[in-house]
Chain A
Amino acid sequence: MAETTASGYIQHHLQNLTFGQHPTGGWGFAHTAAEAKEMGFWAFHVDTLGWSVALGLIFVLLFRMAAKKATSGQPGALQNFVEVLVEFVDGSVKDSFHGRSPVIAPLALTIFVWVFLMNAVDLIPVDWIPQVAMLISGDAHIPFRAVSTTDPNATLGMALSVFALIIFYSIKVKGIGGFIGELTLHPFGSKNIFVQALLIPVNFLLEFVTLIAKPISLALRLFGNMYAGELVFILIAVMFGSGLLWLSGLGVVLQWAWAVFHILIITLQAFIFMMLTIVYLSMAHEENH
């Protein structure tokens, strides 16, 4: 590994490959964390986007392949696998969402499988993919993070898309007036119009926080879990770099144990993200709040 100190190693592992405009002008990759910061908002994490899009493509192409050949007769292995997932997601959606919407079930399926795939990259030993990136680029200091969901941009991006859908369906189902009413006339209401007018700011404060908390919690829950998981993997990897035999041996055991535990976490987090999306959207569809 390129870095000699443990903290340098960890920091290197937590830095994204950022492509953006240098403050001095000209576009290119940031080589240090400080450079990446200076690039401001209009910069892209190439590793996050690359991995997430690649995994997303694997998802849609694999499922498309199964869907194209989908038969009501005897299903093949791939179709069987896809059907299990589709039925699982369909069941989850039907349990929580009682309206009819052509969007929610495919949305939930996409979230579940995509997030699961992105999370699953976490099980690949932390140095493998960055090493491959170093070999390909020839730059020994190139930062590269393979697990897209440990980048808050990725989780927040998905959460904001879900948030946009929540607002869209709230307005579509209840009308713009109904949506504003939901934000301002609850939970405190009064028959007296003056008292009601006084209560509106209080209600709005409460309801707005509730509303805004949805995407934030959605994004940060996934990000926090995956980030913490990755950090533990990195810390275990530091043990290998210590050069001490007993510490490396302990590292092997811990790596295995944490990976096994992580299998549960990556699935659970993907499921939670999907489930909360369904619940939020079903709340957006409900008329009487």
Chain B
Amino acid sequence: MNINATLIGQSVAFLIFVLFCMKFVWPPVIAALHERQKKIADGLDAASRAARDLELAHEKVGQQLREAKAQAAEIIEQAKKRGNQIVEEAVEKARIDADRVKVQAQAEIEQELNSVKDVLRAQLGALAVGGAEKILGATIDQNAHAELVNKLAAEI
């Protein structure tokens, strides 16, 4: 246990080890540590950002869903309204058509009636004239009594 030059040897060895550690061991390890710390911090940041994004997306999806539902309801409503309208229009049109047909038919009937009346009237005139001829026994001048016959026919 003598104090001797071992002291110096040990100091030199110590300083060399410290220098080596300072130059070649500490910087890479601490750099890796810091880099990993940064990576982890970035990762956590990204994760929280992603969570926030997800929340926003959920919100957006919900909103869009609500909008879509509202739109669908509106469309259905419109369709119903349109259907009713179409039915009403059809009914209206049918009614108008029916009226028109009816009016037309009445007009035709009227016209037919008139023409039948005319024919009957003419025949009645001729019959009356024929009857009168027979009664009188003589020929009545067609032309001289035409006016009278026509007047008679108009009266029937």
> Is there a chain B Cβ closer than 8 Å to A72's Cβ?
yes
Count: A-B pairs, CB below 8 Å? 139
> Is there a chain A Cβ closer than 8 Å to B64's Cβ?
no
Within A12-38, the residues touching B (CB, 8 Å) are 14, 16, 18, 20, 36-37
Residue of A nearest to B10 (CB): A157
> Is there a chain B Cβ closer than 8 Å to A63's Cβ?
yes
CB distance from B145 to the nearest CB of A (A): 136
Contact, CB under 8 Å: A45 / B4: yes
User: Once bound together, how far apart are the Cα atoms of A151 and B7, in whole Å?
Assistant: 10
Contact, CB under 8 Å: A72 / B35: yes
> Is there a chain A Cβ closer than 8 Å to B144's Cβ?
no
> Is there a chain A Cβ closer than 8 Å to B47's Cβ?
no
Contact flag A48-B21 (CB < 8 Å), given A83-B33, A106-B26: no
Question: Which residues of B have CB within 8 Å of A79?
Answer: 29, 32
Contact, CB under 8 Å: B4 / A109: no
Chain B interface residue count: which class? 20 to 34
User: Once bound together, how far apart are the Cα atoms of A60 and B11, in whole Å?
Assistant: 16
Question: Which residues of B have CB within 8 Å of A86?
Answer: 26, 29-30, 33
Within A62-80, the residues touching B (CB, 8 Å) are 63-64, 66-68, 70-73, 75, 79
Contact, CB under 8 Å: B11 / A114: no
User: Once bound together, how far apart are the Cα atoms of A289 and B18, in whole Å?
Assistant: 28
Contact flag A44-B9 (CB < 8 Å), given A59-B17, A68-B28, A72-B36: yes
CB distance from B29 to the nearest CB of A (A): 5
Question: Which residues of A have CB within 8 Å of B50?
Answer: none
> Is there a chain B Cβ closer than 8 Å to A156's Cβ?
yes
User: Once bound together, how far apart are the Cα atoms of A111 and B38, in whole Å?
Assistant: 29
User: Once bound together, how far apart are the Cα atoms of A73 and B33, in whole Å?
Assistant: 10
Question: Which residues of A have CB within 8 Å of B22?
Answer: 102-103, 106-107
User: Once bound together, how far apart are the Cα atoms of A60 and B24, in whole Å?
Assistant: 9
Question: Which residues of B have CB within 8 Å of A39?
Answer: 2, 4
User: Once bound together, how far apart are the Cα atoms of A66 and B30, in whole Å?
Assistant: 12
User: Once bound together, how far apart are the Cα atoms of A20 and B33, in whole Å?
Assistant: 46
Question: Which residues of B have CB within 8 Å of A160?
Answer: 7, 11
Question: Which residues of A have CB within 8 Å of B2?
Answer: 18, 36-37, 39, 43
Question: Which residues of A have CB within 8 Å of B3?
Answer: 41, 152-153, 156
> Is there a chain A Cβ closer than 8 Å to B13's Cβ?
yes
User: Once bound together, how far apart are the Cα atoms of A52 and B9, in whole Å?
Assistant: 10
Contact, CB under 8 Å: A20 / B4: yes
Contact flag A110-B18 (CB < 8 Å), given A70-B31, A87-B33: yes
User: Once bound together, how far apart are the Cα atoms of A201 and B15, in whole Å?
Assistant: 34
Residues 145-185 of A, flagged 1 when their CB comes within 8 A of B and 0 if not, give: 00010011110111011000000000000000000000000
Contact, CB under 8 Å: A90 / B4: no
Contact, CB under 8 Å: A110 / B21: yes
Question: Which residues of A have CB within 8 Å of B27?
Answer: 67
With contacts A18-B2, A20-B5 known, what are 5 further pairs, Cβ within 8 A? Answer: A63-B25, A70-B29, A72-B35, A110-B17, A157-B7
| A/B interface sample: 25 pairs, CB < 8 A | A16-B6, A43-B4, A43-B5, A44-B6, A45-B4, A48-B10, A60-B20, A60-B21, A63-B21, A63-B29, A64-B20, A67-B29, A68-B28, A72-B32, A73-B36, A83-B33, A86-B30, A90-B30, A103-B18, A105-B26, A106-B18, A110-B21, A151-B6, A157-B10, A160-B11
B contact set with A: CB distance below 8 Å: 1-11, 13-15, 17-18, 20-22, 24-33, 35-36, 38-39
A contact set with B: CB distance below 8 Å: 14, 16, 18, 20, 36-37, 39-45, 48-49, 52-53, 56, 59-60, 63-64, 66-68, 70-73, 75, 79, 82-83, 86-87, 90, 102-103, 105-107, 109-110, 114, 148, 151-154, 156-158, 160-161
